[in-house]
Amino acid sequence: MSTHLNIFYELKVAEGKAEELKAIVKAMVAFNLAGEPGTLVYNVYMSTDQSTLTYWETHESNEALRHHAERFAQGEYISQVLERTVSARLCIYGPVSDAMKAWSLENGFEVEYADLIDGFERIS
């Protein structure tokens, strides 16, 4: 079984904030690409009606996820994103450690967790 963790983070875009969020996302992607070697996938999507912003991420381990989460929670981007969205749903799929769950709770993240039943990955 894989040790990879997948993140699904869906946010509802505040009225008139889609273009601002797109610019913020571009800066976030560059920031994460440069500073997170354990982040294997980091894609951000905007629905065609521009009402929903979705992050789809894959992290190689709990340590890589924690590194990413700490940079996000302590960085400038979290406030920029949250100021332009009205609600969010955060899901983590895979073998999340108790330490990562505790960190999420301590830092105010409400997370839905799901364990892998079966599957495969073709990420090299």
Q: Tell me the pLDDT tens digit for each residue of 65-111.
A: 999 999 998 889 999 999 999 999 999 999 999 999 999 999 999 99
119, part of any domain: no
Is residue 42 predicted with pLDDT exceeding 70? yes
122, part of any domain: no
Q: Are 8 and 112 in contact (CB under 8 A)?
A: no
- Average predicted confidence (pLDDT) for the chain: 94
Domain that holds residue 78: 5-114
Nearest-angstrom CA–CA distance, 67 and 17: 28
Classify residue 7 by burial, with Cβ atoms within 10 Å: 0-12, 13-18, 19+: buried
Give pTM, 2 decimals. Answer: 0.92
Give how many domains the chain has, as a whole number.
1
Is residue 113 predicted with pLDDT exceeding 90? yes
Note the pLDDT of residue 80. Answer: 96
Q: How many CA atoms lie within 13 A of 41 on its CB side?
A: 16
Q: Which amino acid is at 66?
A: R
123, part of any domain: no
| CA nearest neighbour of 72 among 4, 7, 5, 2 | 7
In this structure, the number of other CB atoms found within 10 A of the CB of residue 81 comes to 21
Note the pLDDT of residue 121. Answer: 80
| CA nearest neighbour of 42 among 28, 62, 30, 58 | 58
Residue 99's CATH number: 3.30.70.100
